[in-house]
Chain A
Amino acid sequence: MSFREEHELHKRRFGRNLGVALVLGAFVVLLLGLTVVKVTRGDFEPESVRIQSQ
């Protein structure tokens, strides 16, 4: 148990770090979602393969 009161500055720094972490985490999830959608739709397949599958 800590008896030292947390300084306001540390709270602010923690908030900033948490904010950056959440933004980066959300970006990773977004990229994953985007990749899944693109791959399942066949967006990355060559034109010849796409024509064959139609």
Chain B
Amino acid sequence: MSDASIHSQAQENEASFGDYFALLKPRVMSLVVFTALVGLLAAPGGVHPVIAFCAILFIAVGGGASGALNMWYDSDIDQVMSRTKSRPIPSGKVTREEAFAIGLTLSVMAVVMLGLATNWVAAGLLAFTIFFYVVIYTMWLKRWTPQNIVIGGAAGAFPPMIGWAAVTGGISVESVLMFTLIFMWTPPHFWALCLFMKSDYKDAGVPMLHVTHGRAVTRNHILVYTLILAAVAVGMAFTSVGGLIYLVTAIVMNAMFVLGAISIWRRSDEACAADNHKVEKRFFGFSLMYLFLHFGAILAEAALAPYGLGGW
């Protein structure tokens, strides 16, 4: 291979703007934006629309920055797994150093800007979220314990709490319950995906529950977490962010979610293989709608409250 061909190959692989944007995990960012927005709008009091916009933007940037730092650290295992092989670093579009620099710069910028735009409690929570996702989850738990997704899920659960803190400057029962809702939802959501995805975690050396303890144990875990989640989700209806709309939504959605978890729990590996994991796939798809509708209901309660319709 000549110098010219190496040079031209490197140029062919040069990153576009979209590749740098992909470092921020835009799909995860959309969930962060939505839940943070609900936390912000459901909080008592209010903020100026420009400040609210800045708060959501900087929470999203902070979340995206932690995604870039995750890709920096995990580039070795991303190379092995088919799901992550096409990410900017393993595909050779962006270097690890670039991802690290972008992640670190955006993290600092997002925390400082959120602090200046709103308050330092919200900024502190955002800083802790980034630290938790990058250091506690990515660097420590992910490659060490099969409960990685449980504890790591906390990082994804902080945004509504940050949104709430951006308005109130503090933490309350309601914001902790919104955190708990996402925290308890993450394990059954992710484990259902693990049950039907072609798993390459084993090759990557990531100790996922279904790899270390088997599929039957994973099904038990899904059921237990779903039952605790249902209690949290319905319980939240009786706080200041709840109301009739939320209560009805929570009862219907949780009844369906628990029934789905029971169906998964009763299945055998043979049954799963026979119908190509139909029940698990349906449960996973439903879990996305589950979270969206719960937060949508909280948003509806907050939006209707000024007209005397939302809340209790």
A residues near B (Cβ < 8 Å) are 9, 12-13, 15-16, 18-20, 30, 33-34, 37, 41
Contacts and interface: CB of A to CB of B under 8 A. Distances in A.
B98 interface: no
A16 B11 CA distance: 14
A9 B51 CA distance: 39
Given A12-B16, A20-B17, A34-B116, 5 more contacts: A9-B11, A12-B14, A19-B17, A30-B57, A34-B54
Contacts of B11: 9
Contacts of B50: 33-34, 37
B279 interface: no
Contacts of B15: 16
B17 A30 contact: no
Interface of B: 11-12, 14-17, 20-21, 48, 50-51, 54, 57, 116-117
Contact of A16 (B17, B51, B54): B17
A30 B48 CA distance: 14
Contacts of B117: 34
A13 B11 CA distance: 10
A16 B21 CA distance: 10
B17 A34 contact: no
B19 to A, nearest CB: 9
Nearest to A22: B17
A34 B51 contact: yes
B308 to A, nearest CB: 29
Nearest to A19: B17
A2 B12 CA distance: 23
